[in-house]
């Protein structure tokens, strides 16, 4: 796959190197040549210095032959323009943009772009780690509309059936892991303490599930 990474800060460099190590052809573009120092010494993709808002620079990067574009500069407006140009002018469908300022997320959403927001994601994960919530997010789909959560069954909840977890909610059972072995969920399965249950749901669905957990633990 031919990939163009726009922006060679810490995220861009890490992304470009990871793609390169997986065998993809990578071109990294940044307006500042010093940024390429963020790339590991064994990176063998192309680097291109220039204004990423210039059509000439994008053409020199080979955007007309690209399969995917990642716009990960610290400028939300730049990322939005590059991504929109890649989609409209070059018909590239695999596009991901970095959202630097959460207050400007709507800028990317207006263009219907796939968004990764490290600030929002990081704050959410740190909050989960600091708190005592029974659920932990392990995967986010799309722009975070649907998440997959991990629930470790406590001794208080042991003895209940799996289906009782999600009854009355829009959540979906994904998998159950017991003694290190994962399996597809059987709704009639009786859970044991230490079982790990993965559940998919929207924020509303998970909130409904959380309201059920205390009641279930008391039963």
Q: Please tell me whether residues 109 and 20 are part of one structural domain.
A: yes
Same domain, 111 and 11: yes
**pLDDT, position 93:** 92
* CA angle centred on 216, ends 215 and 219, rounded to 5°: 90
Are 116 and 146 part of one and the same domain? no
Instruction: Mark whether 113 and 30 lie in a shared domain.
Output: yes
68 and 132, same structural domain?
no
Tell me what pLDDT residue 219 has: 45
Find the domain containing 191 and state its range. Answer: 127-218
Q: Say if residue 113 is in the same domain as residue 131.
A: no
Same domain as 110, residue 34: yes
DSSP-derived secondary structure letter, 122: H
Residues 97 and 9 in one domain: yes
- Give the contacts of 34 (CB within 8 A, at least 6 positions apart): none
Do residues 103 and 158 share a domain?
no
Domain boundary among 89, 120, 151: 120
* Total number of domains constituting the chain: 2
Question: Strands, DSSP E only, in 7-161?
Answer: 25-30, 46-49, 68-71, 94-98, 114-116, 135-141, 146-152
CA R_g for the chain = 22
The pLDDT tens digits for 86-143 are 999 999 999 999 998 888 888 878 788 888 888 877 777 677 666 666 778 888 787 6
pTM above 0.85, yes or no: no
Say if residue 30's pLDDT is above 90: yes
pLDDT in tens, 56-99: 999 999 999 999 999 999 999 999 999 999 999 999 999 999 99
pLDDT at residue number 136: 82
Query: What is the pLDDT, as a whole number, of residue 217?
Result: 47
Provide mean pLDDT across the span 207-214. Answer: 78
Which among 137, 104, 97, 143 has a CA at the least distance from the CA of 5?
Answer: 97
pLDDT of residue 121: 75
Q: How confident is the model at residue 184 (pLDDT cuts 50, 70, 90)?
A: very high
Q: What is the CATH number of the domain that holds 134?
A: 3.30.70.1450
Q: Are residues 89 and 138 in the same domain?
A: no
């Amino acid at each position: 796959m031919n990939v163009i990474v726009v922006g060679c800060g810490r995220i861009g460099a890490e992304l470009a190197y990871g793609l390169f190590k997986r065998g993809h052809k990578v071109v990294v573009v940044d307006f500042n040549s010093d940024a390429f120092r963020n790339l590991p010494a064994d990176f063998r993709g192309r680097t291109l210095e220039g204004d990423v808002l210039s059509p000439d620079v994008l053409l020199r990067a080979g955007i007309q032959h690209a399969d995917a574009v990642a716009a990960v500069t610290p400028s939300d407006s730049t990322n939005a323009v590059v991504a929109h140009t890649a989609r409209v002018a070059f018909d590239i469908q695999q596009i991901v943009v970095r959202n630097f300022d959460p207050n400007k997320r709507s800028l990317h959403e207006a263009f219907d772009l796939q968004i990764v927001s490290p600030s929002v994601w990081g704050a959410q994960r740190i909050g989960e780690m600091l708190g005592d919530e029974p659920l932990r997010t392990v995967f986010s789909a799309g722009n975070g509309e649907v998440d997959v959560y991990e629930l470790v069954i406590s001794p208080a909840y042991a003895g209940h059936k799996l289906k009782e977890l999600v009854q009355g909610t829009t959540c979906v059972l994904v998998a159950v892991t017991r003694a290190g072995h994962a399996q597809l969920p059987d709704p009639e399965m009786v859970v044991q303490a230490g079982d790990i249950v993965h559940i998919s749901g929207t924020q509303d669905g998970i909130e409904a599930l959380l309201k059920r957990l205390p009641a279930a633990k008391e039963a």
